[in-house]
Amino acid sequence: MIVRARKTAALLARLAPVTLAAVLVSGCGGDDDYMKDDPVMMPSPSPTPSPTATPTPTASYDVTACLTQEVAPGVAVADLVVPDTLTLTLSGTSGFPNGRKLADPVIDVTLAVIFLDLATHGAGTLAGLPLNPPENDVAFRSAFPYLAAAQGSPPTASGGSGFDFRSDGAASYTRVDRMGMPAVATALIGSDQKNAYNDADPADDANGDFVDELTEQLTGLTNALADDLVGAGLTPCATEA
């Protein structure tokens, strides 16, 4: 009897709470008064977790059309960024893509030509949005250095390297950043390639050293922004892959 009692106790200890409660109730012999005076508390069922929603896959885009579309007759976007130089034809009209004027909205124009279908939108589409100031708060000068004087109370220069831009030779320059076509080094070169890009020359660009990097970065940016461009009523130059 002792062995049997121990086996029964062990069995009950392994039963789930709901099953154990059912055993206790069934052992009451149908005594309604007992149930009224000492009701058995049934455990609340555990809430069923909500299923995790399946994320909507992000579309992947082919940016080839963005690089091959023409900004000007015979000048494709790829020609402006490889090699990364700012070209100037003296016989042509000044301003993008033939050099740049001080007042040119160069970043807006650059973003437009690498993201938008130029057959549908002009290069000045983003520059025309009412998000930008219409002009500088201080007018440009009519003579060199053309830029307005610094505002406020800028600190007086002291020390420094003593570099003289008028007389020191090219060997005295130190390259810090490449500023050929605006936004190319900033937007289309990844962080892990910045130093290598700044240390390289346009001849390295022409050899194709950074073509894969430019394409990869433009693809990533397009994949992230294409739906926003479409939502704003704009037509991307990239096509869904």
Instruction: Determine the pLDDT at residue 137.
Output: 85
Residue whose pair of structure tokens reads 């049934």 in the numeric block: 42
- pLDDT digits over 148-173, tens only? 887 877 666 666 667 777 888 888 87
216 pLDDT higher than 90: yes
- pLDDT digits over 171-193, tens only? 887 777 888 887 888 889 999 99
- pLDDT digits over 112-151, tens only? 999 999 999 999 999 888 877 777 888 899 898 898 887 8
pTM for this model (two decimals): 0.66
Q: Encode burial over 99-129: b for 16+ CB neighbours within 10 A, e otherwise.
A: ebeeebbbebbbbbbbbbbbeebebebbbee
Instruction: Determine the pLDDT at residue 237.
Output: 97
Query: Of 133-142, 195-204, 206-215, which gets the smallest average pLDDT?
Result: 133-142
